[in-house]
Structure 1
Amino acid sequence: MLSTRVFRPTMLAGIIYGREVGSTQPMQQLGGCEELTLAIDETKINQANFESSGGGNRATVYRINEMTLAAKLQDLNPINIARTLRGLHTEVAASTVVDDLGTALPGGLVRTAHINPTTVVVRNVATSAVIAAAANYEVRPEGLWWFDDSAALATARAADLATWEAANPTLDPADYEWPGLPIEMDYAYNGYDVIETLTRAAPIMEFMFAGMNEAGDDAASITDFWRVQLSATKGLNLISAGSFSTLDVEGEVLKDPTKTGAAISKYMRKRMATPA
């Protein structure tokens, strides 16, 4: 029986599911969302009345220009970020590295090829001597940070300066620019995600909002959007002082030609539970 209840205050909460159109994978949750809105832009076309004085219109047509779905996502997971930055997402498996090369300088970072290195061993390329971390460098997720007063770098620089002075006796040692100490690094790393942004076309998504009405006994309110072409996010908060970062997602609701039949929408569908 269809509901005839007029009184239906609404405050929705729920879960958003999504997958790329054409995918055979099941729909997956996008994560938390603090805003989800549908905006409709339309053009009003008037046919003016010229049959009598006073003006007015004899006909009016409203045409939909576009429907835009916008969300403010709370979970900046790799899948959400990749979709909104037109990126390719890959997973790197845990492994080990031998002889990752770099050049160490005081007060500088030597980046490692993989993030979060552990069990790090550093060697002088020229001598193969192991350089201890104590008093020399600190292991960070992004690589090795070399101290300004690193003992190993000071010793290496002094030796290179002496060689340079012997080869250039007429030059002022103050003009010497040390190129740094070539090093090689062995380490292990855990698995991690990689997103290469702006490497693919804008994805077209199928979304479902599985909502419940908190103001109406948690009655189900399910909305399907058959085809939504995502735009790139307008901003990504890398540092957000005093608040959690969110991911602003927006896309245009497009026609789905696979939806056929009388009174069947090619754009979206909303189903609402009948209150008792």
Structure 2
Amino acid sequence: MAWVKETAIIAGQVKCRLAGTGRPFVPMGLGSTMEQAHEVNKIVLPNTMTVAGGNYDKFSRVTAMTLSFNFREFFSANYARFLWANVTELPSAPVTGEQVIAEVGNTSMLAKMPLSITKVTDAATGLVEFEEDIDWRLTGSGPEPLPGSALATAIEAASGDYLIEVDYTSALVDEIQPLANTGIELELLFEGVNAVGTQKRTNNLYYRCSFDLVESLSWINVEDFMGFNVSCEVLADPARQGPGLSPYMKILKEKPVAA
């Protein structure tokens, strides 16, 4: 049989669905890395019949198949998968009369993420209205009183906490609650293509994948794009049993068509 070059530089995309559902696979976004690893427990029987040593027999037992990834897409669904989180969509809506404590130079966080603030008044009387960019500025989470402003003067003159009343429109957001569950089992599909060698496709299907919690998240980092460094263990699927069948995964490797 003629030698066919089969070197490999593979790129592709990872997709997922809940294990055992048979639903269409959903893209998990750009992944910079995907690595498959295997852990083996090896039992060795030393050869004691000769002083030369060596081993008389051995048995290797696979203890784990694992996958590791660096996903670069921060879909809310990926937060749910890798932070064991619950995700709830909160619609944009008007909010009136929310009271918060105001301090000069500090942010008064509102109950919802503000899209815009329509009015800020003193909570005691509601008669004194403070102006944006003159008395306060809008940060990512609420109003921040500006030094030297009329609002700052009112705060400093107060004998105790100074309350302001805020009318605003909240932003459309996904509220993500990490560590709210213990994770889910996913079936993973890797659709890859070889840039060299045969230049054909490879599809890997992993039947039951239990993801660990993401290792870390670099919230402040201007040197590289943020990523989910995550790993999972590929568990056996008891429904896939029989001679010559793997209960863990299968690989579909496309072959060149003879000329």
Class of the TM-score when normalised by the shorter of the 2 chains? over 0.9
Instruction: Give the distance between the partners of 2:76 and 2:36, measured in 1 at CA.
Output: 25
Q: Which runs of 5+ in 2 are unaligned?
A: none
2:191 counterpart letter in structure 1? A
SS of alignment partner, residue 109 of structure 1: coil
Q: Which runs of 5+ in 1 are unaligned?
A: 161-177
Per-residue Cα deviation, 1:141-170 (whole angstroms, up to 9, x for no partner): 211111122212303543x4xxxxxxxxxx
Report matched runs for 1:98-247 at 5 Å: 98-129=96-127, 130-155=129-154, 157-158=156-157, 160=158, 178-216=159-197, 218-247=199-228
Per-residue Cα deviation, 1:89-115 (whole angstroms, up to 9, x for no partner): 111112111111101111111111111
Instruction: Give the distance between the partners of 2:164 and 2:198, measured in 1 at CA.
Output: 65
Identity between Structure 1 and Structure 2 (%): 24
**Pairs aligned (count):** 256
SS of alignment partner, residue 110 of structure 1: coil
Instruction: Give the distance between the partners of 2:120 and 2:232, measured in 1 at CA.
Output: 48
Give the TM-score, by structure 1 length. 0.87
C-alpha change, 1:155 and 1:101, in structure 2 (3 Å) is closer
Instruction: Give the distance between the partners of 1:53 and 1:121, measured in 2 at CA.
Output: 91
2:6 counterpart letter in structure 1? R
Cα RMSD of the aligned pairs, angstroms, is: 1.9
C-alpha change, 1:218 and 1:119, in structure 2 (3 Å) is farther
C-alpha change, 1:91 and 1:181, in structure 2 (3 Å) is same
Give the TM-score, by structure 2 length. 0.92
Does the CA contact (< 8 Å) of 2:6 and 2:198 recur in 1? no
Alignment partner, residue 7 of structure 1: 5
* 1:206 shift after superposition: 0.8
SS of alignment partner, residue 142 of structure 1: coil
C-alpha change, 1:141 and 1:261, in structure 2 (3 Å) is same
1:256 counterpart letter in structure 2? D
Q: From the CA coordinates, give the structure whose radius of gyration is larger.
A: 1
